Amino acid sequence: MINLADLEAAIRNALPVSHLEIQDQSSGCGESYAIVLVSEAFEGKGTLARHRFVNDLLKDQIAQMHAFSQKTFTPKQYQDLVAKQG
């Protein structure tokens, strides 16, 4: 089991973060997380490459979870998404 603060620290220590949302989807037991991660480190990478990159960075944390989902964006993509929704 991993707690939200440890997961956030692992992400923020591994890459530059423009925006980060972490949702514990396991009612607080730390077994299932969903993240929205915005980073300039994703520039030039496709979705699969980004997910592999994040999975590799967080492999120790993910190994302690039952489920992990992610949405990854470049700052420009996220800005465009927010503009569409808003």
| Domain 4-85 listed as CATH 3.50.50.60 | no
Spatial CA neighbour of 42 closest among 8, 15, 11, 79:
15
Q: Facing residues of 70 across strands?
A: 35
Per-residue pLDDT at 82: 95
Q: What is the CA radius of gyration of the chain?
A: 13
Interval 24-56: pLDDT, tens? 999 878 899 999 999 999 999 999 999 999 999
**Residues comprising the chain, all counted:** 86
| Domain range summary for the chain, segments of one domain joined by + | 4-85
pTM of the prediction? 0.92
